[in-house]
Amino acid sequence: EAQVTQNPRYLITVTGKKLTVTCSQNMNHEYMSWYRQDPGLGLRQIYYSMNVEVTDKGDVPEGYKVSRKEKRNFPLILESPSPNQTSLYFCASSQLTSGGAGTGELFFGEGSRLTVL
Amino acid sequence: AQKVTQAQTEISVVEKEDVTLDCVYETRDTTYYLFWYKQPPSGELVFLIRRNSFDEQNEISGRYSWNFQKSTSSFNFTITASQVVDSAVYFCALSSSNTGKLIFGQGTTLQVKP
C-alpha cells in the first residue's frame, strides 16, 4: 500500500530535549516536505527536499533541521524544542511532474501531534 | 511573494444546500499550480484537485466543481447538494514551477448540518 509513515504520532516532551520525527514514504517520490498546522494559520511549510541531499527552507524553518540521506526518508529534527513548537506536524511527498518539484499531488502522513512543555 | 487567502473561516449550511468556498491567490509567476485539499474530522489530508495556470477550464467531479479565474486570481470550490460527510476543513494551496515551495491558505471549516 502506498503510504507516508510518520513516527511518533503523539509526543509530549520538555523544553530543550532533542527529538526527531521520522517520515518515510514507499512511493519512490523525489519531493518531500514538512508542514506544521496551527489553528487559524493553516499549513505552513517548514522544510522541503527535491531529492537526496537537496533540502531547502520553507516559510517557518527556525528551530528545525532536516536531512535527506535516502530517497524514502526525511526526518524532522528539533534540536532544542520550545513551547512555541507545540503543533501538529505533517510530512508529505509527491512525484516529480512536468511542472517541477512540489507541483504534484501531495501524499500526506497521518500527522504527529507534538506538545512541548 | 506568494500568498493564498481563504477569507471564510467557517461556513455552516444545512444538508442539500450548495456552498462555495473562496480562494484568492497572489503570485508574480506565470506558471503555477493550484490545489484543494480536504481534512475531515479524522485529521488526514486528502487531495481533491490540481490545476495549472494555463488551464482555465472549470472542472466538475460529481458534486464538486472548481472555478478558476485568472482575471480575479481566484480558484473557488463549489459543493452542490452538500452532505454531512462533506463536513471538513478545506485548504487551497499554491505552488510555482520548480521552486519547491507550496503555500497553503488558512483553511475554511465547513459544517454541514443534517
Each residue's pLDDT expressed in tens, for chain B with a length of 114 residues: 789 999 999 999 999 999 999 999 999 988 999 999 999 999 999 999 999 999 888 888 999 999 999 999 999 999 999 999 999 999 999 998 767 788 999 999 999 999
Q: Which pLDDT tens digit goes with each residue over A46-83? A: 999 999 999 999 999 999 999 999 999 999 999 999 99
A44: β partners = A36
* Residue B51 and residue B32 in contact, taking contact as beta carbons nearer than 8 Å: no
> What residues of chain B, 12 to 41, have a C-beta less than 8 Å from chain A?
31, 33, 35, 37
Q: Which pLDDT tens digit goes with each residue over B53-72? A: 998 888 889 999 999 999 99
Q: Is A84 helix (H, G, I), strand (E, B) or coil?
A: helix
Closest to A95 in 3D by CA, of B15, B93, B94, B50 = B50
Residue of B nearest to A94 (CA): B100
For residue A39, count CB atoms less than 10 angstroms from its CB and return exposed for 0-12, middle for 13-18, buried for 19 or more.
exposed
Q: Is B86 helix (H, G, I), strand (E, B) or coil?
A: helix
Closest to B75 in 3D by CA, of B16, B21, B2 = B21
Cβ distance B44 to A108 less than 8 Å, yes or no, reads yes
Can you give the pLDDT at residue B57?
85
Q: For residue B102, how many other CB atoms are within 10 A of its CB? A: 28
Q: Strands, E, within chain A: which ranges?
A: 4-7, 10-13, 19-25, 31-38, 42-51, 54-57, 65-66, 76-78, 87-94, 107-108, 112-116
Q: Which pLDDT tens digit goes with each residue over A31-48? A: 999 999 999 899 999 999
Please give the mean pLDDT across all residues of chain A: 94
